[in-house]
Structure 1
C-alpha cells in the first residue's frame, strides 16, 4: 500500500509539473484536440524504459548504506521540488503552443527525443524511483511493480486529463484550475519527499 501511494503521489507531481513534455502535450491538444494530446501524453511509456532499466541496474549494485544515503538525498530533492512547485503554482500560467505544427508521427518522435534528453527523468529514477523500486523488490517483486504501475498510471493519466481539458476548451483553458492542480501536486511531492527522507534515516533502511 505504501509503494502504491508513493507511486501515485510521485506520478501526479511528475505529470503536472511544467516541463518540455507537458508543453508538447498542451501544444498538441490546442492544435489537434484530445487525440493529439493523448499521443504525446503516452510518450513516457515509450521513452522511459531504458531510463528505468539503467537506473535500477545501477542503483541495485550499490551497497545498502549508499542506497540509504541516496534515499535521503532523493527525498530532500523531492521536498525541494514540492516547495518549488508550490511557489510556482501561485502565478503559473498554462504553457502555450509554439509556431510550428508537425505531423502526429513527428510530434510523438519529438516527444520521445525530448524526454530522453531531459535530465529530469534520469534524475528522478536514479535518486528517487530506483531506491524505492530496489527496496520494494527485495521485500516482494509485486510491491515494486505496484509502485511503477501507480507512478505511470498517474503520470500518463494526469497528462491525458489535461489534454482532455485543453482539447475541450482549446484556447479557453483557465489558469485557476491549472494552479490548483500544481499546488496539490506540490504538496504531495513535499510530503512524499519527507517520508522518503525519514525512511532513509531509519536503521532498517528504506
Structure 2
C-alpha cells in the first residue's frame, strides 16, 4: 500500500507544480483578484476529474485505436486558452481598481479549462487508470490511498502556488501588474498552440 501512496504523492506533486494551463490560470486569478480566487481554481480538478476518470475507464480500449475524441477536446481547449490569453493581454493599469473583491467565476473557469484540456484525459488513460487498477488488484484500500494521495498533493501544490503568488502580490502594481498579466497571456497562447498541435496530431490531419 505504501508504494501506491508514494506513487500518488509523486504524480500529484509533479502534476501540481508542473507548468501548464491550469497553473497559469491559478497564477492569473491570484494576481487579478486574490489568493482565494487562485485557490478556487486549484480545487477545480476535484469537480472535473470524476467524469474524466469514469470516461477513461469506459472507453479506454476504444481510445487506444482512435484519437478523434481527444483531438476534438484538444482543439476546443486551444480556443478556450486563446480567449483567456486575449483577456490577459487586454489588462490595463486600472485593472486592480476595477474590482474591489473577486467575482465568483474562478472555479468555473478552472472547471471549463480542465474539462477541455486533453492532458488530464491523457494522464488517466496512460498512467492514472493503469496505476489505479493495479492498486485495486492488490487491495481496495491501496486504490483509495493512491487516489487520496494523488489529489491531496495535486490540489495542495496549486494552493501553495496561489499563496506564494499572493504574498508577492503587493509588489505588483501599475505597469508591473500589466506586464505580468500580458506575459501570462502570452504563456496561455503558447499553451493553446500546444493544444492545437496535439489536436491536429490526434486527429491525424
Relative to the length of structure 1, the TM-score reads 0.61
Where structure 2 has 5 or more consecutive residues not aligned to the other structure, the ranges are: 65-86, 173-205
The equivalent residue for 1:133 is 132
Distance 1:171 1:56 in 2: 45
Where structure 1 has 5 or more consecutive residues not aligned to the other structure, the ranges are: 67-96, 174-206
Distance 1:142 1:57, change over 3 A: farther
The equivalent residue for 2:150 is 151
The equivalent residue for 1:23 is 24
Shift of residue 172, structure 1, vs aligned partner: 4.8
Query: For residues 147-206 of structure 1, what are the alpha-carbon distances to aligned partners after superposition, in whole Å with 9 as ceiling and x for unaligned?
Result: 111110000000000100111111659xxxxxxxxxxxxxxxxxxxxxxxxxxxxxxxxx
Query: For residues 92-147 of structure 1, what are the alpha-carbon distances to aligned partners after superposition, in whole Å with 9 as ceiling and x for unaligned?
Result: xxxxx924679633222121111011010000000000001011111111101111
Query: For residues 46-95 of structure 1, what are the alpha-carbon distances to aligned partners after superposition, in whole Å with 9 as ceiling and x for unaligned?
Result: 11110111223445x79xxx9xxxxxxxxxxxxxxxxxxxxxxxxxxxxx
Contact 1:40 1:111 in 2 (8 A): yes
The equivalent residue for 2:13 is 12
Distance 1:31 1:144, change over 3 A: same
Relative to the length of structure 2, the TM-score reads 0.62
The root-mean-square deviation of aligned C-alpha atoms, in Å, is 2.6
The number of residues matched between the two structures is: 140
Shift of residue 16, structure 1, vs aligned partner: 1.1
Alignment partner of 1:54 is 2:55: yes
